[in-house]
Amino acid sequence: MPTKEDSQLTCMAGEFLVVSKLFKRRYQASVTLGNAKAIDVLAYNPATGKNFAVQVKTLRRRNCFPIDRKAIKADHVYIFVFLNAFEDTEEFFIVPGAEILADIDRFFGSSFRNPDKPSPVPAINYGPLSPYKNNWGLFDR
């Protein structure tokens, strides 16, 4: 069972990796620090003048991402990160919140579908995320 410290390290690793990827694309980005954050990363594209509120969800290995569907905001960008083993490349899936909300059944699958027996831990499944792999162009729109 992961410790609280380990899960905090996992989350922070994902946030800093996302910021570094945004920097490489010449965006301005900043990790927001705090215990009860509504936004993990603030990003700005100087070429378009657009700001982005980014939520980062990170796991050490491929699995479902636990997330409360009521917390998803249409105007946020969600970046799901698999850290993978140290020697392996990380994986990034970049999805607009509006697209998740437009197709809750597809993203959440069985963890959401059964209203008579809702999952105690709703989660976004890996399969629906696959078309969004390395979707960094989202920040150019």
State pLDDT tens for residues 15-49. 999 999 999 999 999 999 866 578 999 999 999 99
| Structure-token pair, residue 15 | 């946030």
The model carries a pTM of: 0.89
137-141 long-range CB contacts below 8 Å, 24 or more apart? 138/77, 138/94, 138/96, 139/22, 139/25, 139/27, 139/43, 139/45, 139/50, 139/52, 139/77, 140/45, 140/47, 140/48, 141/48, 141/50
Q: If DSSP codes are grouped into helix, strand and coil, which group holds residue 138?
A: helix
Q: Domain 4-140 is in which class? A: alpha beta
